[in-house]
Chains A and B, each alone.
Chain A
Amino acid sequence: MLKLISTLSIGVLILLASIFLFLGILDATKVNISMLIGTIIWFIVTPLWMKEE
Protein backbone atom coordinates (compact mmCIF):
# COMPACT_ATOMS: atom_id res chain seq x y z
CA MET A 1 0.00 0.00 0.00
CA LEU A 2 2.74 2.44 1.00
CA LYS A 3 4.70 1.57 -2.13
CA LEU A 4 1.61 2.25 -4.22
CA ILE A 5 1.17 5.66 -2.61
CA SER A 6 4.83 6.49 -3.30
CA THR A 7 4.52 5.36 -6.91
CA LEU A 8 1.34 7.36 -7.44
CA SER A 9 2.87 10.44 -5.80
CA ILE A 10 5.63 10.69 -8.39
CA GLY A 11 3.91 8.87 -11.26
CA VAL A 12 0.64 10.78 -11.21
CA LEU A 13 1.16 14.01 -9.27
CA ILE A 14 4.53 14.79 -10.89
CA LEU A 15 5.00 12.92 -14.19
CA LEU A 16 1.40 12.69 -15.39
CA ALA A 17 0.76 16.27 -14.28
CA SER A 18 3.65 17.48 -16.45
CA ILE A 19 2.23 15.51 -19.40
CA PHE A 20 -1.17 17.15 -18.79
CA LEU A 21 0.61 20.51 -18.84
CA PHE A 22 2.16 19.62 -22.19
CA LEU A 23 -1.22 18.56 -23.55
CA GLY A 24 -2.81 21.77 -22.29
CA ILE A 25 -5.19 19.94 -19.91
CA LEU A 26 -3.78 21.66 -16.81
CA ASP A 27 -2.17 25.07 -16.39
CA ALA A 28 1.32 25.65 -15.01
CA THR A 29 0.16 26.88 -11.58
CA LYS A 30 -1.96 23.80 -10.90
CA VAL A 31 0.80 21.50 -12.17
CA ASN A 32 3.41 23.13 -9.94
CA ILE A 33 1.13 22.70 -6.90
CA SER A 34 0.46 19.08 -7.88
CA MET A 35 4.21 18.43 -8.14
CA LEU A 36 4.88 19.99 -4.76
CA ILE A 37 2.17 17.82 -3.16
CA GLY A 38 3.66 14.75 -4.91
CA THR A 39 7.09 15.66 -3.56
CA ILE A 40 5.81 16.05 0.02
CA ILE A 41 3.92 12.73 -0.13
CA TRP A 42 6.98 10.96 -1.58
CA PHE A 43 9.28 12.12 1.19
CA ILE A 44 6.75 11.31 3.93
CA VAL A 45 5.72 7.86 2.69
CA THR A 46 8.83 6.42 0.98
CA PRO A 47 11.10 6.32 4.07
CA LEU A 48 8.46 4.18 5.80
CA TRP A 49 8.70 1.26 3.34
CA MET A 50 12.24 1.81 2.10
CA LYS A 51 13.45 1.70 5.70
CA GLU A 52 11.65 -1.61 6.23
CA GLU A 53 13.25 -3.09 3.12
Chain B
Amino acid sequence: MSENHEGELTLERNDGGEFERTPVPSSKLKGWKSFLGMYAGEHAAGTEFMIGPLFLAAGASLKDLLIGLFIGNVLAILTWRFIVAPIAVSKKLTLYYQLEKIAGKHLVKVYNVVNGVLFCFLAGAMITVSASAVGIPFDINFTVPKGIFGLSTPSFSMIVIIVGVVMTIVAAAGYNTVSKFANIAAPWMIVVFAACGISALTQMEVTSWGSLLTEWDNGVNVVQSVSGKVDFGFWKIVIFSWLCNAAMHFGMADLSIMRFAKDSRAGWGPSIGMFLGHYMAWICASFMLAAQIKLTGDISANPGALAWSAVGWTGIICVIVAGWTTANPTIYRAGLAFQSLFPLKAKSYSGVILAGLVATAAGIFPALSAKLLDFVGLYGTILGPMGGVIFVNHYLAKKMNFTQNYADEKGSSFNMAVLLAWVIPVALGLYFIFGEQQLFAAYAVIPCWIASSLLYVIIMKFQKS
Protein backbone atom coordinates (compact mmCIF):
# COMPACT_ATOMS: atom_id res chain seq x y z
CA MET B 1 0.00 0.00 0.00
CA SER B 2 0.99 3.55 -0.55
CA GLU B 3 1.48 5.49 2.62
CA ASN B 4 4.06 8.20 2.20
CA HIS B 5 1.98 10.19 -0.28
CA GLU B 6 -0.77 10.94 2.13
CA GLY B 7 1.80 12.06 4.63
CA GLU B 8 3.12 14.63 2.24
CA LEU B 9 -0.38 15.96 1.73
CA THR B 10 -1.06 16.34 5.40
CA LEU B 11 2.33 17.84 6.03
CA GLU B 12 1.72 20.39 3.34
CA ARG B 13 -1.68 21.18 4.67
CA ASN B 14 -0.59 21.66 8.23
CA ASP B 15 2.82 23.13 7.74
CA GLY B 16 1.97 25.41 4.86
CA GLY B 17 4.33 23.54 2.53
CA GLU B 18 5.06 24.46 -1.08
CA PHE B 19 2.16 25.88 -3.10
CA GLU B 20 -0.40 24.66 -0.60
CA ARG B 21 -2.97 27.25 -1.62
CA THR B 22 -1.79 28.21 -5.09
CA PRO B 23 -1.41 26.25 -8.32
CA VAL B 24 2.09 24.85 -8.82
CA PRO B 25 4.01 27.28 -11.10
CA SER B 26 5.33 26.07 -14.48
CA SER B 27 8.95 26.34 -13.32
CA LYS B 28 8.35 23.66 -10.66
CA LEU B 29 6.67 21.12 -12.94
CA LYS B 30 8.33 17.77 -13.56
CA GLY B 31 8.33 15.36 -16.50
CA TRP B 32 6.38 12.13 -16.25
CA LYS B 33 9.51 9.98 -15.89
CA SER B 34 10.28 11.70 -12.55
CA PHE B 35 7.08 10.14 -11.22
CA LEU B 36 8.20 6.63 -12.19
CA GLY B 37 11.22 6.97 -9.90
CA MET B 38 9.34 8.75 -7.15
CA TYR B 39 6.65 6.07 -6.93
CA ALA B 40 9.09 3.13 -7.32
CA GLY B 41 9.65 2.58 -3.61
CA GLU B 42 6.25 3.80 -2.47
CA HIS B 43 4.35 0.55 -2.72
CA ALA B 44 6.85 -1.77 -1.06
CA ALA B 45 5.93 -1.25 2.59
CA GLY B 46 5.36 -3.18 5.79
CA THR B 47 1.79 -3.95 4.74
CA GLU B 48 3.11 -6.15 1.93
CA PHE B 49 4.46 -8.66 4.49
CA MET B 50 0.92 -9.04 5.87
CA ILE B 51 -1.13 -8.87 2.67
CA GLY B 52 0.86 -11.37 0.58
CA PRO B 53 0.47 -14.38 2.91
CA LEU B 54 -3.21 -13.55 3.45
CA PHE B 55 -3.95 -14.47 -0.19
CA LEU B 56 -2.78 -18.01 0.41
CA ALA B 57 -4.43 -18.08 3.83
CA ALA B 58 -7.68 -17.00 2.11
CA GLY B 59 -7.43 -19.92 -0.31
CA ALA B 60 -6.60 -18.08 -3.56
CA SER B 61 -5.24 -20.27 -6.36
CA LEU B 62 -1.78 -19.35 -7.66
CA LYS B 63 -2.95 -18.89 -11.26
CA ASP B 64 -5.76 -16.60 -10.12
CA LEU B 65 -3.27 -14.68 -8.01
CA LEU B 66 -0.73 -14.18 -10.80
CA ILE B 67 -3.29 -13.13 -13.43
CA GLY B 68 -5.69 -11.37 -11.07
CA LEU B 69 -2.99 -9.22 -9.51
CA PHE B 70 -1.69 -8.32 -12.96
CA ILE B 71 -5.10 -7.16 -14.18
CA GLY B 72 -5.92 -5.38 -10.92
CA ASN B 73 -2.62 -3.49 -10.95
CA VAL B 74 -3.14 -2.47 -14.58
CA LEU B 75 -6.62 -1.19 -13.71
CA ALA B 76 -5.20 0.77 -10.76
CA ILE B 77 -2.55 2.35 -12.99
CA LEU B 78 -5.21 3.25 -15.59
CA THR B 79 -7.29 4.86 -12.82
CA TRP B 80 -4.33 7.03 -11.82
CA ARG B 81 -3.69 7.89 -15.45
CA PHE B 82 -7.23 8.70 -16.58
CA ILE B 83 -9.04 9.79 -13.39
CA VAL B 84 -6.41 11.49 -11.20
CA ALA B 85 -3.74 12.84 -13.57
CA PRO B 86 -5.99 14.95 -15.87
CA ILE B 87 -7.58 16.76 -12.90
CA ALA B 88 -4.22 17.17 -11.14
CA VAL B 89 -2.57 18.63 -14.24
CA SER B 90 -5.53 20.88 -14.98
CA LYS B 91 -5.94 22.37 -11.48
CA LYS B 92 -2.45 21.88 -9.99
CA LEU B 93 -3.90 22.01 -6.46
CA THR B 94 -3.63 19.73 -3.41
CA LEU B 95 -6.52 17.41 -2.58
CA TYR B 96 -7.20 19.40 0.57
CA TYR B 97 -7.34 22.82 -1.07
CA GLN B 98 -9.44 21.48 -3.91
CA LEU B 99 -11.78 19.82 -1.42
CA GLU B 100 -11.89 22.99 0.66
CA LYS B 101 -13.06 24.94 -2.39
CA ILE B 102 -15.92 22.48 -2.87
CA ALA B 103 -16.77 21.35 0.67
CA GLY B 104 -15.63 24.20 2.91
CA LYS B 105 -12.85 24.27 5.48
CA HIS B 106 -14.86 22.79 8.37
CA LEU B 107 -15.97 19.75 6.39
CA VAL B 108 -12.38 19.21 5.26
CA LYS B 109 -11.43 19.06 8.95
CA VAL B 110 -14.00 16.29 9.49
CA TYR B 111 -12.59 14.42 6.49
CA ASN B 112 -9.08 14.87 7.86
CA VAL B 113 -9.96 13.43 11.29
CA VAL B 114 -11.71 10.42 9.71
CA ASN B 115 -8.58 9.95 7.64
CA GLY B 116 -6.50 10.16 10.84
CA VAL B 117 -8.54 7.46 12.61
CA LEU B 118 -8.12 5.10 9.65
CA PHE B 119 -4.39 5.87 9.61
CA CYS B 120 -4.19 4.82 13.27
CA PHE B 121 -5.55 1.36 12.47
CA LEU B 122 -3.11 1.01 9.58
CA ALA B 123 -0.25 2.07 11.87
CA GLY B 124 -1.51 -0.39 14.50
CA ALA B 125 -1.22 -3.25 11.99
CA MET B 126 2.33 -2.13 11.22
CA ILE B 127 3.23 -2.05 14.91
CA THR B 128 2.00 -5.66 15.10
CA VAL B 129 4.14 -6.53 12.05
CA SER B 130 7.28 -5.00 13.60
CA ALA B 131 6.55 -6.60 16.98
CA SER B 132 6.22 -10.01 15.30
CA ALA B 133 9.86 -9.65 14.18
CA VAL B 134 11.11 -8.16 17.46
CA GLY B 135 9.66 -11.15 19.31
CA ILE B 136 11.51 -13.78 17.23
CA PRO B 137 14.95 -13.49 18.94
CA PHE B 138 13.17 -13.80 22.30
CA ASP B 139 11.16 -16.79 21.08
CA ILE B 140 7.92 -14.86 21.49
CA ASN B 141 5.42 -15.61 18.74
CA PHE B 142 2.13 -13.90 18.23
CA THR B 143 -0.98 -15.95 17.87
CA VAL B 144 -4.06 -14.56 16.19
CA PRO B 145 -7.13 -15.00 18.42
CA LYS B 146 -10.48 -15.69 16.79
CA GLY B 147 -12.26 -12.61 18.10
CA ILE B 148 -11.39 -9.21 16.60
CA PHE B 149 -10.62 -7.82 20.04
CA GLY B 150 -8.92 -10.93 21.39
CA LEU B 151 -5.41 -10.57 22.79
CA SER B 152 -2.32 -12.55 21.92
CA THR B 153 0.05 -13.78 24.65
CA PRO B 154 0.90 -11.25 27.42
CA SER B 155 4.57 -11.22 26.36
CA PHE B 156 3.63 -10.37 22.76
CA SER B 157 1.25 -7.64 23.93
CA MET B 158 4.12 -6.20 25.98
CA ILE B 159 6.39 -6.13 22.90
CA VAL B 160 3.63 -4.36 20.94
CA ILE B 161 3.36 -1.71 23.66
CA ILE B 162 7.14 -1.17 23.75
CA VAL B 163 7.38 -0.96 19.93
CA GLY B 164 4.34 1.35 19.81
CA VAL B 165 5.73 3.68 22.47
CA VAL B 166 9.14 3.89 20.74
CA MET B 167 7.49 4.59 17.38
CA THR B 168 5.26 7.25 18.91
CA ILE B 169 8.21 9.02 20.56
CA VAL B 170 10.19 8.97 17.29
CA ALA B 171 7.15 10.22 15.36
CA ALA B 172 6.60 13.01 17.89
CA ALA B 173 10.24 14.03 17.54
CA GLY B 174 9.79 14.64 13.83
CA TYR B 175 9.11 13.19 10.45
CA ASN B 176 12.15 14.03 8.36
CA THR B 177 14.66 11.56 9.80
CA VAL B 178 12.34 8.60 9.40
CA SER B 179 11.39 9.80 5.92
CA LYS B 180 15.06 9.94 4.89
CA PHE B 181 15.71 6.52 6.39
CA ALA B 182 12.68 5.14 4.51
CA ASN B 183 14.11 6.43 1.23
CA ILE B 184 17.44 4.75 1.92
CA ALA B 185 15.78 1.48 2.93
CA ALA B 186 13.31 1.26 0.01
CA PRO B 187 15.58 -0.32 -2.69
CA TRP B 188 17.07 -2.72 -0.12
CA MET B 189 13.59 -3.77 1.03
CA ILE B 190 12.50 -4.54 -2.54
CA VAL B 191 15.56 -6.75 -3.06
CA VAL B 192 15.01 -8.51 0.28
CA PHE B 193 11.38 -9.19 -0.71
CA ALA B 194 12.65 -10.84 -3.90
CA ALA B 195 15.30 -12.81 -1.96
CA CYS B 196 12.63 -14.00 0.50
CA GLY B 197 10.55 -15.29 -2.42
CA ILE B 198 13.49 -17.10 -4.02
CA SER B 199 14.52 -18.57 -0.68
CA ALA B 200 10.93 -19.74 -0.09
CA LEU B 201 10.95 -21.47 -3.49
CA THR B 202 14.12 -23.26 -2.41
CA GLN B 203 12.51 -24.33 0.86
CA MET B 204 9.54 -25.71 -1.08
CA GLU B 205 12.01 -27.62 -3.30
CA VAL B 206 10.35 -26.17 -6.38
CA THR B 207 11.92 -27.38 -9.60
CA SER B 208 9.20 -26.59 -12.12
CA TRP B 209 5.98 -24.66 -12.60
CA GLY B 210 4.06 -27.87 -11.90
CA SER B 211 5.82 -28.50 -8.60
CA LEU B 212 5.17 -24.89 -7.56
CA LEU B 213 1.45 -25.32 -8.26
CA THR B 214 1.43 -28.55 -6.28
CA GLU B 215 3.15 -26.97 -3.28
CA TRP B 216 0.80 -23.97 -3.41
CA ASP B 217 -2.29 -26.18 -3.60
CA ASN B 218 -0.99 -28.27 -0.71
CA GLY B 219 -0.60 -25.08 1.30
CA VAL B 220 -4.15 -23.98 0.49
CA ASN B 221 -5.50 -27.43 1.41
CA VAL B 222 -3.72 -27.36 4.77
CA VAL B 223 -5.07 -23.87 5.52
CA GLN B 224 -8.60 -24.84 4.51
CA SER B 225 -8.49 -28.07 6.52
CA VAL B 226 -7.85 -25.94 9.61
CA SER B 227 -9.75 -22.71 8.90
CA GLY B 228 -12.53 -24.05 6.66
CA LYS B 229 -13.14 -23.38 2.98
CA VAL B 230 -13.01 -19.73 2.00
CA ASP B 231 -13.70 -18.30 -1.44
CA PHE B 232 -11.07 -15.88 -2.69
CA GLY B 233 -11.51 -16.18 -6.44
CA PHE B 234 -10.13 -14.44 -9.49
CA TRP B 235 -12.42 -11.40 -9.52
CA LYS B 236 -12.01 -10.83 -5.82
CA ILE B 237 -8.24 -10.65 -6.36
CA VAL B 238 -8.69 -8.29 -9.34
CA ILE B 239 -11.00 -5.96 -7.41
CA PHE B 240 -8.84 -6.03 -4.30
CA SER B 241 -5.59 -5.24 -6.10
CA TRP B 242 -7.31 -2.54 -8.15
CA LEU B 243 -8.92 -0.85 -5.16
CA CYS B 244 -6.56 -1.39 -2.23
CA ASN B 245 -5.17 2.07 -3.00
CA ALA B 246 -8.59 3.50 -3.86
CA ALA B 247 -8.15 6.38 -1.42
CA MET B 248 -5.11 7.45 -3.45
CA HIS B 249 -6.61 7.16 -6.95
CA PHE B 250 -10.43 7.10 -6.84
CA GLY B 251 -10.24 9.16 -3.63
CA MET B 252 -7.92 11.66 -5.40
CA ALA B 253 -5.35 11.81 -2.57
CA ASP B 254 -2.62 11.67 -5.20
CA LEU B 255 -3.79 14.95 -6.73
CA SER B 256 -1.31 16.51 -4.33
CA ILE B 257 1.54 14.51 -5.89
CA MET B 258 0.53 14.72 -9.53
CA ARG B 259 -0.15 18.45 -9.44
CA PHE B 260 3.60 18.79 -10.01
CA ALA B 261 3.27 17.04 -13.39
CA LYS B 262 3.83 18.75 -16.73
CA ASP B 263 1.23 16.56 -18.39
CA SER B 264 -1.15 13.69 -17.74
CA ARG B 265 1.44 11.04 -18.59
CA ALA B 266 2.49 11.38 -14.93
CA GLY B 267 -0.48 9.08 -14.32
CA TRP B 268 1.75 6.23 -15.53
CA GLY B 269 4.10 7.06 -12.61
CA PRO B 270 2.87 4.35 -10.19
CA SER B 271 3.45 1.58 -12.81
CA ILE B 272 6.85 0.34 -11.61
CA GLY B 273 6.08 0.80 -7.91
CA MET B 274 2.80 -1.09 -8.17
CA PHE B 275 4.37 -4.08 -9.89
CA LEU B 276 7.26 -4.18 -7.42
CA GLY B 277 5.13 -3.83 -4.29
CA HIS B 278 1.71 -5.16 -5.18
CA TYR B 279 2.86 -7.92 -7.49
CA MET B 280 6.39 -9.12 -6.82
CA ALA B 281 6.37 -8.40 -3.07
CA TRP B 282 2.90 -9.87 -2.45
CA ILE B 283 3.70 -13.02 -4.41
CA CYS B 284 7.07 -13.46 -2.68
CA ALA B 285 5.44 -12.95 0.73
CA SER B 286 2.76 -15.51 -0.12
CA PHE B 287 5.48 -18.03 -1.12
CA MET B 288 6.98 -17.58 2.35
CA LEU B 289 3.75 -18.83 3.95
CA ALA B 290 3.54 -21.74 1.49
CA ALA B 291 7.12 -22.68 2.42
CA GLN B 292 6.37 -22.42 6.14
CA ILE B 293 3.34 -24.70 5.77
CA LYS B 294 5.46 -27.26 3.92
CA LEU B 295 8.26 -27.13 6.50
CA THR B 296 6.28 -26.94 9.75
CA GLY B 297 2.58 -27.20 8.95
CA ASP B 298 2.09 -23.85 10.70
CA ILE B 299 -0.56 -21.78 8.88
CA SER B 300 -0.21 -18.56 10.86
CA ALA B 301 0.80 -15.54 8.76
CA ASN B 302 3.36 -14.20 11.24
CA PRO B 303 5.57 -11.83 9.19
CA GLY B 304 8.52 -12.02 11.59
CA ALA B 305 8.57 -15.81 11.67
CA LEU B 306 8.09 -16.06 7.91
CA ALA B 307 10.99 -13.71 7.13
CA TRP B 308 13.22 -15.37 9.75
CA SER B 309 12.58 -18.75 8.23
CA ALA B 310 13.29 -17.46 4.70
CA VAL B 311 16.42 -15.31 5.08
CA GLY B 312 17.35 -15.21 8.78
CA TRP B 313 18.44 -11.96 10.44
CA THR B 314 18.10 -9.97 7.21
CA GLY B 315 14.43 -10.92 7.19
CA ILE B 316 13.98 -9.85 10.81
CA ILE B 317 15.61 -6.50 10.09
CA CYS B 318 13.51 -6.08 6.94
CA VAL B 319 10.21 -6.71 8.74
CA ILE B 320 11.14 -4.30 11.55
CA VAL B 321 12.29 -1.62 9.10
CA ALA B 322 9.29 -2.13 6.80
CA GLY B 323 6.84 -1.91 9.69
CA TRP B 324 8.64 1.01 11.28
CA THR B 325 9.03 3.10 8.11
CA THR B 326 5.34 2.58 7.37
CA ALA B 327 3.97 3.06 10.87
CA ASN B 328 6.05 6.06 11.81
CA PRO B 329 4.94 8.53 9.13
CA THR B 330 1.43 7.13 9.44
CA ILE B 331 1.33 7.94 13.17
CA TYR B 332 2.83 11.35 12.44
CA ARG B 333 0.27 12.32 9.83
CA ALA B 334 -2.62 10.90 11.86
CA GLY B 335 -1.31 13.08 14.68
CA LEU B 336 -1.36 16.15 12.48
CA ALA B 337 -4.95 15.35 11.57
CA PHE B 338 -5.85 15.02 15.27
CA GLN B 339 -4.01 18.21 16.19
CA SER B 340 -7.04 20.25 15.10
CA LEU B 341 -8.98 18.60 17.96
CA PHE B 342 -6.67 20.14 20.57
CA PRO B 343 -6.79 23.75 21.79
CA LEU B 344 -4.32 26.10 20.10
CA LYS B 345 -2.28 26.28 23.32
CA ALA B 346 -1.67 22.50 23.30
CA LYS B 347 1.82 21.19 22.52
CA SER B 348 2.47 20.57 18.86
CA TYR B 349 3.08 16.87 19.50
CA SER B 350 -0.20 16.26 21.37
CA GLY B 351 -1.95 14.95 18.28
CA VAL B 352 0.93 12.60 17.46
CA ILE B 353 0.93 11.20 21.00
CA LEU B 354 -2.84 10.59 20.81
CA ALA B 355 -2.44 8.93 17.40
CA GLY B 356 0.41 6.78 18.73
CA LEU B 357 -1.68 5.65 21.70
CA VAL B 358 -4.63 4.71 19.46
CA ALA B 359 -2.33 2.93 17.01
CA THR B 360 -0.59 1.00 19.82
CA ALA B 361 -3.96 0.03 21.29
CA ALA B 362 -5.01 -1.22 17.84
CA GLY B 363 -1.72 -3.10 17.47
CA ILE B 364 -2.36 -5.10 20.64
CA PHE B 365 -5.18 -6.91 18.81
CA PRO B 366 -3.45 -9.07 16.18
CA ALA B 367 -6.75 -10.01 14.56
CA LEU B 368 -6.97 -6.44 13.23
CA SER B 369 -3.76 -6.87 11.23
CA ALA B 370 -4.97 -10.29 10.08
CA LYS B 371 -7.99 -8.46 8.64
CA LEU B 372 -5.84 -6.15 6.53
CA LEU B 373 -7.46 -7.32 3.28
CA ASP B 374 -10.80 -6.11 4.61
CA PHE B 375 -9.36 -2.98 6.19
CA VAL B 376 -7.82 -1.53 3.03
CA GLY B 377 -11.14 -2.06 1.24
CA LEU B 378 -12.88 -0.25 4.08
CA TYR B 379 -10.35 2.55 3.82
CA GLY B 380 -11.17 3.03 0.12
CA THR B 381 -14.92 2.77 0.76
CA ILE B 382 -14.83 5.56 3.35
CA LEU B 383 -12.37 7.98 1.69
CA GLY B 384 -12.86 7.15 -2.01
CA PRO B 385 -16.27 8.83 -2.48
CA MET B 386 -14.81 12.30 -1.83
CA GLY B 387 -12.88 11.76 -5.05
CA GLY B 388 -16.20 11.24 -6.84
CA VAL B 389 -17.35 14.67 -5.65
CA ILE B 390 -14.14 16.25 -6.97
CA PHE B 391 -14.58 14.37 -10.26
CA VAL B 392 -18.11 15.62 -10.96
CA ASN B 393 -17.24 19.10 -9.72
CA HIS B 394 -14.43 19.19 -12.30
CA TYR B 395 -16.16 17.62 -15.30
CA LEU B 396 -19.89 18.15 -14.85
CA ALA B 397 -20.48 21.38 -12.90
CA LYS B 398 -20.40 23.68 -15.92
CA LYS B 399 -22.01 21.21 -18.31
CA MET B 400 -24.88 20.50 -15.92
CA ASN B 401 -25.15 24.08 -14.79
CA PHE B 402 -24.48 23.85 -11.06
CA THR B 403 -21.96 25.89 -9.06
CA GLN B 404 -18.39 24.71 -9.43
CA ASN B 405 -16.26 25.00 -6.25
CA TYR B 406 -19.44 25.78 -4.30
CA ALA B 407 -17.90 26.63 -0.91
CA ASP B 408 -15.36 28.97 -2.48
CA GLU B 409 -17.95 30.71 -4.66
CA LYS B 410 -20.56 31.09 -1.91
CA GLY B 411 -18.18 31.68 0.99
CA SER B 412 -19.47 28.56 2.78
CA SER B 413 -17.34 26.75 5.36
CA PHE B 414 -19.51 23.62 5.39
CA ASN B 415 -21.17 22.42 2.20
CA MET B 416 -24.02 20.19 3.33
CA ALA B 417 -24.38 18.76 -0.20
CA VAL B 418 -20.88 17.28 0.01
CA LEU B 419 -21.53 15.86 3.49
CA LEU B 420 -24.73 14.13 2.32
CA ALA B 421 -23.12 12.90 -0.91
CA TRP B 422 -20.27 11.45 1.15
CA VAL B 423 -22.05 10.06 4.21
CA ILE B 424 -25.16 8.44 2.65
CA PRO B 425 -23.34 6.09 0.22
CA VAL B 426 -20.62 5.34 2.79
CA ALA B 427 -23.23 4.50 5.46
CA LEU B 428 -24.96 2.15 3.02
CA GLY B 429 -21.61 0.62 2.08
CA LEU B 430 -20.75 0.06 5.74
CA TYR B 431 -24.18 -1.50 6.32
CA PHE B 432 -23.52 -4.06 3.60
CA ILE B 433 -19.96 -4.68 4.83
CA PHE B 434 -20.77 -5.11 8.52
CA GLY B 435 -24.39 -6.24 8.20
CA GLU B 436 -25.74 -9.70 7.47
CA GLN B 437 -24.49 -9.52 3.88
CA GLN B 438 -20.84 -9.41 5.04
CA LEU B 439 -19.85 -7.82 1.73
CA PHE B 440 -16.13 -7.92 0.94
CA ALA B 441 -15.12 -4.32 1.68
CA ALA B 442 -13.32 -3.65 -1.62
CA TYR B 443 -16.54 -4.47 -3.52
CA ALA B 444 -18.20 -1.40 -2.00
CA VAL B 445 -15.62 1.12 -3.22
CA ILE B 446 -16.82 1.74 -6.78
CA PRO B 447 -20.57 1.66 -6.03
CA CYS B 448 -20.00 4.21 -3.22
CA TRP B 449 -17.84 6.35 -5.51
CA ILE B 450 -20.49 6.37 -8.25
CA ALA B 451 -23.32 6.92 -5.76
CA SER B 452 -21.51 9.88 -4.18
CA SER B 453 -20.87 11.42 -7.59
CA LEU B 454 -24.50 11.06 -8.66
CA LEU B 455 -25.85 12.21 -5.32
CA TYR B 456 -23.71 15.33 -5.38
CA VAL B 457 -24.95 16.23 -8.86
CA ILE B 458 -28.58 15.63 -7.85
CA ILE B 459 -28.32 17.66 -4.63
CA MET B 460 -26.54 20.52 -6.36
CA LYS B 461 -29.13 20.59 -9.15
CA PHE B 462 -31.92 20.47 -6.58
CA GLN B 463 -30.29 23.22 -4.55
CA LYS B 464 -29.92 25.34 -7.67
CA SER B 465 -33.56 24.92 -8.66
Q: Number of residues in B with C-beta < 8 Å to the partner? A: 18
Tell me the minimal C-beta distance from B414 to chain A in angstroms. 44
What are the interface flags for B317-330 relative to A under an 8 Å C-beta threshold, 1 for contact and 0 otherwise? 10000000000000
Question: Quick one: which of A10, A22, A28, A31 contacts B188, CB cutoff 8 A?
Answer: A10
Assess whether A35 is in contact with B311, with CB atoms less than 8 Å apart. Answer: yes
Assess whether B183 is in contact with A35, with CB atoms less than 8 Å apart. Answer: no
Assess whether A18 is in contact with B183, with CB atoms less than 8 Å apart. Answer: no
If A21-B202, A31-B199, A46-B184 touch, whether A10 touches B191 (CB-CB below 8 Å) is yes
Assess whether B313 is in contact with A32, with CB atoms less than 8 Å apart. Answer: yes
Tell me the minimal C-beta distance from A25 to chain B in angstroms. 11
Assess whether A36 is in contact with B202, with CB atoms less than 8 Å apart. Answer: no
Check: B201 CB closer than 8 A to any chain A CB. Answer: yes
**Docked pose: A30 CA to B195 CA in angstroms:** 14
Residues of A within 8 A of B199 (CB): 18, 21-22, 28, 31
Assess whether B184 is in contact with A17, with CB atoms less than 8 Å apart. Answer: no
- Tell me which residues from 178 to 196 in chain B have a Cβ below 8 Å from any Cβ of chain A: 183-185, 187-188, 191-192, 194-195
What are the interface flags for A19-38 relative to B under an 8 Å C-beta threshold, 1 for contact and 0 otherwise? 10110000010011001101
Assess whether B191 is in contact with A11, with CB atoms less than 8 Å apart. Answer: yes
Question: Quick one: which of A10, A32, A42, A46 contacts B311, CB cutoff 8 A?
Answer: A32
Tell me the minimal C-beta distance from B196 to chain A in angstroms. 8
If A10-B191, A14-B192 touch, whether A35 touches B312 (CB-CB below 8 Å) is yes
Q: Which residue of A lies closest to B203 (CB)?
A: A28
Binding site for A on B (CB under 8 A): 183-185, 187-188, 191-192, 194-195, 198-199, 201-202, 311-314, 317
Binding site for B on A (CB under 8 A): 10-11, 14-15, 17-19, 21-22, 28, 31-32, 35-36, 38-39, 42-43, 46-47, 50
**A/B interface sample: 27 pairs, CB < 8 A:** A10-B187, A10-B188, A14-B192, A15-B194, A15-B195, A17-B195, A18-B198, A18-B311, A21-B198, A21-B199, A22-B198, A22-B199, A28-B202, A31-B199, A31-B311, A32-B314, A35-B195, A35-B311, A35-B312, A38-B314, A39-B314, A43-B185, A46-B184, A46-B188, A47-B184, A50-B183, A50-B184
